[in-house]
């Protein structure tokens, strides 16, 4: 009798957790019960939601019928020096203090304030350091700091590295490739001779862990702050070489990144260089889809220029929550009055902004001259792939593949280890922040929630968040690369 009463109480408690949006049921409950739709009958009742989702991914993630055979990637590439942010700043004899954002860094003091500003928010950011000599001194200190590690860096090079894990795929990489970077690149990656240069470009990655403290500041989650004095990438000097190489390489897909690097060069340069970039991109054959990978920016005019001039001539974009909100702020879109996200970004608000981008700057109408039909959004707890109907296939598998690689790579593993990850995504959410809206839920056995707004379709999946991430740099690039590998372009709707 008491066993039945206990089971009923546990079931009631579990249902309460589910309907009040609790992201993870306590293990004690999961050991006793099995909720409908959470586990299949063949699974043991002690399986966690993480186990159910991971198992579902392995079953449901399948490559498309038509796969890319050649992908060209450009144009930012560098060597990343990864160090403890707090440790390096202490080694530079910088005292902790209050945070303050800076669009461009001019000194160690600016660096400290910007680092603290983003560390307190657990947010990623990237900034240009204007003083070449001061940057070189900091770079030397970073390279000599105990535990400093050198990695392939730059969005294009990182995307190329991820794509090169597929043995049947040819990858072309254009960018400023110095001897150290060339040595570290996968053998499968082809670098045109015009892209090789005598010296490497270095970027400094200041990492911090969840809960890490410095003075009165504490990081709510693990992340990183990136800065550099990188003129080659800053001017996108390899762009014309990249576009010129496409005729001979004949890719099925072009992946473009590095536009954010121009922001630190000043308005006069980026205005002129962006016009040249638009002309160069426009020369790419219309039947080749182009994916644009965005990154952290602070100049609203520059972001607005990218939105108006570049987005309509690409087929797909990839971005995170900071970039999404800043894009809306720059273009006065939905929820532009928010300063920042509070915790996990609200799915309905994210959905509103993604819908607005495709309606205003994408090909949501047949007569539109825009080529933009796909957006891959990623944040720590979940990902959303949104597409205009009729242009892309296999997007459920693509969004799950992106989430799976985020879960494994953050933990430094080749596959998901369910003991090292946790579910943080909401189990219930709304399709929009405004009416009319649909109440939706996440089913772990089929972990892709799909909804529609007009002729635009949303695919959302949870991420199994690594509890103790080993490296956060390059996750967004791996997510976008993996999502593209599992995406299929529908040929009956030419761009």
The DSSP letter of residue 439 is E
Distances (CA, A) of 105 to 54, 102, 112, 134: 42, 6, 10, 11
Q: Is 490 helix (H, G, I), strand (E, B) or coil?
A: coil
CA distance 165 to 97: 43
Ranges of beta strands (E only) in 19-99 are: 70-74, 78-84
What's the rounded Cα separation, in Å, for the pair 143 and 136?
A: 10
Can you read off the two tokens belonging to residue 415? 């596959």
The active-site residue out of 110, 200, 371, 477 is 477
Cα gap 356→262, rounded to integer Å: 26
- Residue 217 is classified by DSSP as E
Q: Cβ(169)–Cβ(190) under 8 Å?
A: no
What lies within 8 Å, CB to CB, of 87 at 6+ separation is: 145, 147
The residue count of the chain comes to 495
477 catalytic per annotation: yes
CA angle 186, 189, 193 (to 5 degrees): 120
Distances (CA, A) of 484 to 4, 163, 260, 315, 392: 50, 9, 21, 12, 10
Bridge partners (DSSP) listed for residue 71: 171, 253
Residue 393 near residue 454, CB atoms below 8 Å: no
CA 193 – CA 196 distance, rounded (Å): 5
User: d(Cα 173, Cα 246) in Å, to the nearest integer?
Assistant: 11
- What's the CA gap between 77 and 161, in Å, rounded? 11
CA-only gyration radius of the chain, Å: 23
Q: Which residues are marked as active site?
A: 477
């Amino acid at each position: 009798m008491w066993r039945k009463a206990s089971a009923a109480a546990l079931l009631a408690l579990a249902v309460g957790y589910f309907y009040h949006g609790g992201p993870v049921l306590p293990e004690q409950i999961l050991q006793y019960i099995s909720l409908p739709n959470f586990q299949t009958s063949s699974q043991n009742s002690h399986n966690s939601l993480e186990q159910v989702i991971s198992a579902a991914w392995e079953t449901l993630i399948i490559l498309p019928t038509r796969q890319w055979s050649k992908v060209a990637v450009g144009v930012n590439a560098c060597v990343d020096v990864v160090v403890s942010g707090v440790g390096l700043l202490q080694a530079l004899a910088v005292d902790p203090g209050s945070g303050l954002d800076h669009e461009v860094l001019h000194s160690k003091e600016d660096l400290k304030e910007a680092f603290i500003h983003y560390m307190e928010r657990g947010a990623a950011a990237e900034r240009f350091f204007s003083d070449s000599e001061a940057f070189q001194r900091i770079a030397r200190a970073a390279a000599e700091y105990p535990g400093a590690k050198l990695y392939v860096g730059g969005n294009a090079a990182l995307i190329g590295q991820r794509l090169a894990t597929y043995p049947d795929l040819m990858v072309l990489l254009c960018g400023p490739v110095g001897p150290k970077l060339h040595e570290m690149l996968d053998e499968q990656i082809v670098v045109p001779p015009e892209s090789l240069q005598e010296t490497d470009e270095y970027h400094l990655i200041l990492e911090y862990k969840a809960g890490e403290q410095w003075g009165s500041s504490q990081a709510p989650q693990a992340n990183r702050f990136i800065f550099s004095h990188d003129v080659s990438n800053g001017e996108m000097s390899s762009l014309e070489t990249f576009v010129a190489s496409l005729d001979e390489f004949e890719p099925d897909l072009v992946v473009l990144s590095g536009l954010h690097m121009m922001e630190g060069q000043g308005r006069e340069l980026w205005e002129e260089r962006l016009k040249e970039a638009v002309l160069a991109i426009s020369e790419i054959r219309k039947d080749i889809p182009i994916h644009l990978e965005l990154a952290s920016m602070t100049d609203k005019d520059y972001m607005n220029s990218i939105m108006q001039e570049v987005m309509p001539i690409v087929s797909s974009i990839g971005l995170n929550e900071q970039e999404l909100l800043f894009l809306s702020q720059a273009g006065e879109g939905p929820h532009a009055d928010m300063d920042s996200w509070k915790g996990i970004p609200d799915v309905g608000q994210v959905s509103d902004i993604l819908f607005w981008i495709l309606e205003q700057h994408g090909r949501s109408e047949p007569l539109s001259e825009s080529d933009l039909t796909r957006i891959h959004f990623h944040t720590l707890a979940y990902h959303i792939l949104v597409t205009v109907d009729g242009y892309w296939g296999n997007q459920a598998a693509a969004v799950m593949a992106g989430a799976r690689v985020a879960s494994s790579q953050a933990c430094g593993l080749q596959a998901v280890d369910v003991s090292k990850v946790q579910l943080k995504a909401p189990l219930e959410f709304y399709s929009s922040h405004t009416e009319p809206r649909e109440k939706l839920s996440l089913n772990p056995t089929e972990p892709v929630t799909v909804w529609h707004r007009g002729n635009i379709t949303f695919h959302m999946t949870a991420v199994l968040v690594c509890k103790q991430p080993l490296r956060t740099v390059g996750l967004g690039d791996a997510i976008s690369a993996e999502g593209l590998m599992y995406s299929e372009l529908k040929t009956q709707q030419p761009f």
